[in-house]
Amino acid sequence: CGVFGVIGLADAANFVALGLHALQHRGQEAGGIVCHHPEHGFNSARRFGYVRDNFTKASLMETLPGPLAIGHVRYSTAGSKGAAIRDVQPFFGEFSMGGAAIAHNGNITNANALRKELIERGSIFQSSSDSECIIHLMARSLQRNIPERMQDALRRVEGAFSVVAMTRTKLIGVRDPHGVRPLVLGRLGDGWVLSSETCGLDIIGAEYIREIEPGEMVVITEEDGVESSFPFRPQPSKFCIFEHVYFSRPDSIIGGRSVYETRRQIGVELARENPVEADLVCAVPDSGTPAAIGFSQESGIPFAMGIIRNQYMGRTFIEPTEQIRNMGVRLKLNVNRALIKGKRVILVDDSVVRGTTSRKIKEMILDAGAKEVHFRIASPPTAWPCFYGVDTPQREKLLAATMSEDEMAEHLAVDSLKFISLDGLYRAVGEATGRSKDCPQYCDACFSGEYPVTPSDMLEKGFEM
């Protein structure tokens, strides 16, 4: 998901809509905005579909006045799949000291246990979302102000959370102690901005100030600006390495590094680790493009657009149902036949999850007359599900959970299939000596199976680590 918030700018909701539009790649199912105006109080709108189709309408935006607003774009990883407007964030709660709204990116790994406990003690849940637990935990807190109630609530929450929240006068940002999901701070005129990624600052012309640190809470008011605190027990930083590989936008900056440059570097490492003779390097667009460019630069094999993407389709993976995902590949990608015919082609993609994309693309490429097809993948084999906010399927559906690299190559019937090594990936994100065995610098659980936060709900359900 993507989260965004603004304080201290007239018609803040308009800025939030733009920010969410820039973060649309983080969630395409639905979006929501909550705002506050000194006279008109809290207002909100939640809609299915793209930001640009909803939050551009003057008739809707007029109902969202005020200098303070937060928003969320949804990609369902927890709670019900697909349609239920009650699952669309931000969530709102009315407390004795006033209202508050929260927008959450990540996944709470003890949400089932918390929900059960809260329901037994009288909470009435409105949605199936794990994030709603935060509101109910806040309601039960005895603290006298909302930021402190949030701290109380979030201390009970396990897993990944980057939260943007608001009261009548405050914009609040928090990252979980491992800092799994991103969150950055920006400045625009007299206003302040919180965004999942820096591309959300760029779109409104805000200046990037800094990242919210793992375990940090910032409380921002128009009068006093940014107040920072660290309310959680410190933990080793475990930023999601897959944000670098796929999830974030290539024009975003993470930890001082350009995501594009990291992906290009992954391609360079990939070409060094797994060279192959061929005529063309092609990307599976868009997610494979920067790595394909890096692969081409390192190998000297020309880069070409062998697969053309229909720009009117969103991210296939993010489609919640299998059927749509299956169709999605053909709706979204087509082979540039004239270019491919008779060629030995290297195809670079960011990841192989179920293998749906790779299988379809291989068929399409061979059908177009390619002589050889070599897959090069910009991440290590995805052998484990993510429980921290990326919607990987159950372990059984992951190709790499049951097959070796060679078996996958055979299964996909390609001439070769190679993945970047975990160390190669760490080098590409700037860790010169590769992955630290004792304490890996990132979360890489979907590749390594080493989960930095115990997925307790899943263990309860029988998941075996």
Contact track, Mg ion, 283-322, x by CB under 5 A = ----x-----------------------------------
Q: Is 315 left (phi over 0), alpha (psi -120 to 50) or beta?
A: beta
Q: How far is the CB of 330 from Mg ion (least distance, A)?
A: 14
Residue of 70, 240, 254, 284 that binds ligand SF4 (CB under 6 A): 240
Residue of 50, 303, 388, 419 that binds ligand SF4 (CB under 6 A): 388
> Which H or E run contains 416?
strand 416-419
- Applying CB under 6 A, the span of 135-143, 215-223, 239-247, 428-436 interacting with ligand SF4 comes to 239-247
Tokens for 8, please give them: 């201290």
Of residues 50 and 246, the one with the C-beta less far from Mg ion = 246
Whether residue 439 is annotated as binding a ligand: the answer is: no
Residue of 329, 353, 386, 408 that binds ligand SF4 (CB under 6 A): 386
Whether residue 202 is annotated as binding a ligand: the answer is: no
Whether residue 11 is annotated as binding a ligand: the answer is: no
| Residue 443 sits in the site that holds ligand SF4 (CB under 6 A) | yes
- Applying CB under 6 A, the span of 85-93, 141-149, 437-445, 455-463 interacting with ligand SF4 comes to 437-445
The answer to whether the beta carbons of residues 44 and 100 sit under 8 Å apart is: no
Residue of 445, 453, 457, 458 that binds ligand SF4 (CB under 6 A): 445
Q: How far apart are CA 284 and CA 348, in angstroms?
A: 6
Task: Write the DSSP symbol of residue 432.
Answer: T
Residue 20: what residue type?
Answer: L
Q: How far is the CB of 70 from ligand SF4 (least distance, A)?
A: 23
The answer to whether the beta carbons of residues 273 and 410 sit under 8 Å apart is: no
Of residues 11 and 444, the one with the C-beta less far from ligand SF4 = 444
Radius of gyration of the chain (CA): 22
Residue 439 burial by Cβ neighbours in a 10 Å radius (0-12, 13-18, 19+): exposed
Of residues 13 and 386, the one with the C-beta less far from ligand SF4 = 386
Backbone torsions φ then ψ of 260, nearest 5 degrees: -60, -50
Of residues 244 and 374, the one with the C-beta less far from ligand SF4 = 244
Residue of 75, 242, 260, 375 that binds ligand SF4 (CB under 6 A): 242
| Contacted entry of ligand SF4, Mg ion, none for residue 335, CB cut-off 5 to 8 Å set by kind | none
| Residue 13 sits in the site that holds ligand SF4 (CB under 6 A) | no
1 flagged as catalytic: yes
Strand 253-254 relative to strand 416-419, pairing: unpaired
Q: How far apart are CA 335 and CA 36, in angstroms?
A: 49
Binding residue count for ligand SF4, defined by CB under 6 A: 11
Of residues 56 and 448, the one with the C-beta less far from ligand SF4 = 448
Q: How far is the CB of 445 from Mg ion (least distance, A)?
A: 20
Question: In 3D, which of 449, 361, 340 has the Cα closest to residue 413?
Answer: 361
Hey, which residues does 208 pair with through a beta bridge? 186
Tokens for 54, please give them: 């909803």
Q: How far is the CB of 226 from Mg ion (least distance, A)?
A: 37
Residue 144: what residue type?
Answer: R
Whether residue 195 is annotated as binding a ligand: the answer is: no
Torsion of CA 240, 214, 211, 43, to 10 degrees: 90
Binding residue count for Mg ion, defined by CB under 5 A: 1
Q: How far is the CB of 327 from Mg ion (least distance, A)?
A: 15
Whether residue 133 is annotated as binding a ligand: the answer is: no
Q: Is 436 helix (H, G, I), strand (E, B) or coil?
A: coil
Contact track, Mg ion, 261-290, x by CB under 5 A = --------------------------x---
| Residue 180 sits in the site that holds ligand SF4 (CB under 6 A) | yes
Backbone torsions φ then ψ of 309, nearest 5 degrees: -100, 135
| Residue 358 sits in the site that holds Mg ion (CB under 5 A) | no
Q: Is 271 helix (H, G, I), strand (E, B) or coil?
A: helix
Q: In b/e form, how buried is each residue of 226-238, taking b as 16+ CB within 10 angstroms?
A: beeeebbeeeebb
Tokens for 367, please give them: 């059908």
Q: How far is the CB of 465 from ligand SF4 (least distance, A)?
A: 12
Q: How far is the CB of 180 from ligand SF4 (least distance, A)?
A: 5
Q: How far apart are CA 355 and CA 316, in angstroms?
A: 13
Q: How far apart are CA 294 and CA 336, in angstroms?
A: 21
Q: Which residues are annotated as a binding site for [4Fe-4S] cluster?
A: 240, 386, 443, 446
Contact residues: ligand SF4, CB under 6 A: 180, 240-242, 386, 388, 390, 443-446
Catalytic machinery residues: 1
Contact residues: Mg ion, CB under 5 A: 287
Q: Which residues are annotated as a binding site for Mg(2+)?
A: 287, 349-350
Q: Which residues are annotated as a binding site?
A: 240, 287, 349-350, 386, 443, 446
